[in-house]
Amino acid sequence: GAGVSQSPSNKVTEKGKDVELRCDPISGHTALYWYRQSLGQGLEFLIYFQGNSAPDKSGLPSDRFSAERTGGSVSTLTIQRTQQEDSAVYLCASSLGQGTYEQYFGPGTRLTVT
């Protein structure tokens, strides 16, 4: 079946603009995660959705960042008033849940803020 998909694959935006990044998890996966990865760096946790529970937003770096997951499937990460330090690859991952923890990552969205 299809894996995790993300769109767009690349996004160049001007400083101060808003951007929306999309993640389509694997069908049936109840858990969805967003990470940020700067060049040559590790995986910075942003937000985690599990089923219908309230999301864990503890990793969001500022109130310019928000995410939602509609219908327990597709998720959108929104960055408002983008800054140059927001430039990074944004990775989405999903896992089945129900005691199965393996994460499947999407290809990422490379965001460049000019």
Partner 1 sequence: GENVEQHPSTLSVQEGDSAVIKCTYSDSASNYFPWYKQELGKRPQLIIDIRSNVGEKKDQRIAVTLNKTAKHFSLHITETQPEDSAVYFCAATGGYQKVTFGTGTKLQVIP
Site residues (CB under 8 A) for partner 1? Answer: 31, 33, 35, 41-43, 45, 48, 50, 53, 56, 58, 91, 95, 97, 101-103, 105-108
Cβ of residue 3: shortest distance to partner 1, in angstroms? 9
What is the nearest approach in angstroms of partner 1 to the Cβ of residue 57? 12
Whole-number minimum distance, CB 33 to partner 1, in Å? 7
The answer to whether 78 touches 70, Cβ cutoff 8 Å, is: no
Between 19 and 89, CB nearer to partner 1: 89
Name the minimum Å distance from CB 2 to partner 1.
14
Q: Which is nearer to partner 1, 42 or 71 (CB)?
A: 42
Give phi and psi for 100, each to the nearest 5: -110, 115
Contact 102, 3 (CB under 8 A): no
Nearer to partner 1, 7 or 80 (CB): 7
Nearer to partner 1, 14 or 52 (CB): 52
Count of alpha carbons within 13 angstroms of residue 27, beta-carbon side: 2
What's the CA gap between 89 and 61, in Å, rounded?
15
Q: Which residues of 33-68 are buried (b: 16+ CB within 10 A; e: fewer)?
A: bbbbeeeeeeeeebbbbbeeeebeeeebeeeebebe
